[in-house]
């Protein structure tokens, strides 16, 4: 496949090029950002195995510094990308779609690098009265990572459109409150918080369900009609075009990290626990990472459903015509959607 040939070519070209002027002109540092969840395990592997550094050196770039940061919610993360505070960010598909639509054709145009995982996120509640989204009342509150723009908030809008009609897609928006998943989980488990429901992320959503009285109201796979990309990575065209060897090293590193996860999910779970300083048991985290609905893949899935919905309700002015328009060419030969 062209994707595999590209990865091999990165190493070959780097070996032949040596320390050329072109290589010295590329960035000597790459700054990556992620959010709270278990959707970025490739990043944990990249950091621990120093994979970007390995492929950058193989491409003739010498010693490249890799810097890591963590944000809560796509808005702050995207602001950091546009202000050139970071080079690569990752989050839910709506975060990428929003920035793609905002920057298309500009000097800071943004596109996706690849998907990272396909897995559902769950709307959980401790209120026994609520068994579907039709049961929410005006006084009920739903914690999400970010109001209106997070993948959970957009999926809730999609679910509302299905339940109440397209014109009522924002019916549940007033009920949402922004809270980082770890804090939302603590509040849901303890009870007594201003909210009784959380649209969360793995493994926090599974941790919530370990406690009596908490049950699932909605699975995002049901809203999208099947598996969808949960997390994707993106960057600016400026960074992509100015750093072909470093970008190639990033793609090759992501490919190896994905293979490493799929080969040993327990070891990958241990890395996530270490990096997130989680107190969750290794067996539980491994079970989440290896869940029956979880796929670690660079192939984008159902990104166009998010983009089309967001365009239809006016969240973005125009949607991409094809999923390839949303991502850089290096993954275009994957069977995405």
- Whether the predicted pLDDT of 216 surpasses 50: yes
Task: Give the single-character DSSP code of 166.
Answer: G
Both tokens assigned to 125: 């509640």
CA distances to 101, 145, 184 from 72, rounded to whole Å, are 21, 7, 12
Distance in angstroms (rounded) separating the CA atoms of residues 71 and 32: 11
Distance in angstroms (rounded) separating the CA atoms of residues 14 and 140: 57
Residue 8 is predicted with a pLDDT of 53
pLDDT confidence tier of residue 146, bands split at 50, 70 and 90: confident
Residue 276 is predicted with a pLDDT of 85
CA distances to 147, 168, 171, 304, 310 from 161, rounded to whole Å, are 17, 6, 8, 17, 12
How much of the chain, in percent, has pLDDT values that exceed 90?
A: 81
Phi-psi region of 88 (alpha: psi -120 to 50; beta: other; left: phi over 0): beta
Neighbours of 226 (CB within 10 A): 11
- Whether the predicted pLDDT of 288 surpasses 90: yes
pLDDT confidence tier of residue 21, bands split at 50, 70 and 90: very low
Chain segment 318-330, per-residue pLDDT in tens: 999 999 999 999 9
Q: With H, G, I as helix, E, B as strand and everything else as coil, classify residue 71.
A: strand
Residue 20 is predicted with a pLDDT of 43
Tell me the residue ranges of DSSP E strands in 97-220. Answer: 110-118, 122-125, 142-144, 176-178, 197-199, 215-219
pLDDT confidence tier of residue 259, bands split at 50, 70 and 90: very high
Chain segment 69-94, per-residue pLDDT in tens: 887 666 788 888 999 999 999 989 99
Of 106, 109, 76, 102, the closest CA to residue 91 belongs to 76
Average pLDDT, the chain: 91
- Whether the predicted pLDDT of 36 surpasses 80: no
pLDDT confidence tier of residue 18, bands split at 50, 70 and 90: very low
Residue 78 is predicted with a pLDDT of 83
CA distances to 155, 161, 175, 200, 225 from 170, rounded to whole Å, are 11, 8, 10, 19, 20
Single pTM value for the model: 0.89
Residue 328 is predicted with a pLDDT of 98
Q: Is 283 exposed, middle or buried (0-12, 13-18, 19+ CB in 10 A)?
A: exposed
8 Å CB contact between 68 and 32: yes
CA distances to 34, 205, 209, 315 from 234, rounded to whole Å, are 11, 25, 32, 19
Of 99, 259, 122, the closest CA to residue 184 belongs to 122
Listing DSSP states for 20-51 in one string gives -HHHHHS-SEEEEEEESSSS-HHHHHHHHHTH
Distance in angstroms (rounded) separating the CA atoms of residues 201 and 48: 23
- Whether the predicted pLDDT of 17 surpasses 70: no
Mean pLDDT value across residues 94-117: 95
Tell me which of 173 and 149 has the higher pLDDT: 173
Two domains, one topology: 2-119+228-331 and 122-224: yes
Mean pLDDT value across residues 143-148: 92
Mean pLDDT value across residues 278-295: 94
Annotated domain spans of the chain: 2-119+228-331, 122-224
Q: Taking the domain 2-119+228-331, which CATH number applies? A: 3.40.190.10
Residue 34 is predicted with a pLDDT of 78
Task: Give the single-character DSSP code of 327.
Answer: B
Assigned fold of 122-224? D-Maltodextrin-Binding Protein; domain 2 (3.40.190)
Distance in angstroms (rounded) separating the CA atoms of residues 39 and 62: 30
- Whether the predicted pLDDT of 2 surpasses 70: no
Q: With H, G, I as helix, E, B as strand and everything else as coil, classify residue 190.
A: helix
Per DSSP, helices labelled H in 170-291 are 181-190, 204-209, 220-224, 237-242, 244-263, 265-276, 282-289
- Whether the predicted pLDDT of 117 surpasses 80: yes
- Whether the predicted pLDDT of 306 surpasses 60: yes
Mean pLDDT value across residues 11-36: 65
């Amino acid at each position: 496949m062209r994707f595999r040939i590209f990865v091999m070519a990165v190493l070959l070209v780097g070996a032949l090029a040596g320390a050329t002027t072109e290589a010295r002109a590329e960035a000597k540092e790459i700054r990556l950002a992620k959010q709270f969840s278990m959707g970025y395990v490739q990043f944990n592997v990249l950091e621990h195995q120093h994979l970007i550094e390995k492929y950058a050196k193989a491409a003739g770039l010498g010693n490249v510094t890799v810097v890591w940061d963590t944000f809560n919610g796509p808005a702050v993360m995207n602001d950091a990308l546009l202000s050139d505070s970071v080079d690569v960010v990752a989050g839910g598909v709506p975060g990428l779609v929003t920035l793609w639509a905002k920057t298309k054709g500009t000097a800071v145009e943004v596109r996706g690098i690849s998907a990272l995982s396909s897995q559902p996120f769950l709307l959980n509640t401790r209120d026994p009265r609520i068994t579907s989204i039709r049961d929410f009342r005006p006084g009920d509150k739903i914690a999400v990572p970010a109001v209106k723009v997070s993948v959970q908030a957009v999926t809730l809008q999609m679910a509302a459109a299905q339940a109440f009609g397209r014109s009522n897609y924002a019916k549940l928006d007033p009920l949402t409150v922004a809270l980082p998943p770890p804090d939302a989980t603590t509040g849901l488990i303890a009870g007594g918080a201003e909210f009784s429901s959380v649209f969360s992320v793995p493994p926090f959503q599974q941790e919530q369900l370990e406690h009596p009285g908490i049950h699932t109201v909605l699975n995002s796979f049901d809203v999208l009609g099947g598996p969808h990309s949960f997390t994707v990575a993106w960057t600016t065209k400026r960074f992509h075009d100015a750093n072909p060897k470093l970008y190639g090293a990033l793609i090759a590193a992501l490919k190896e990290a994905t293979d490493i996860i799929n080969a040993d999910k327990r070891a990958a779970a241990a890395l996530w626990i270490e990096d997130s300083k989680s107190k969750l048991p290794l067996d539980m985290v491994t079970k989440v990472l290896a869940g029956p609905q979880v796929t670690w893949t660079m192939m984008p899935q159902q990104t166009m459903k998010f983009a089309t919905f967001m365009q239809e309700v006016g969240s973005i002015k125009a949607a991409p015509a094809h999923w390839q328009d949303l991502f850089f060419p290096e993954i275009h030969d994957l069977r995405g959607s």
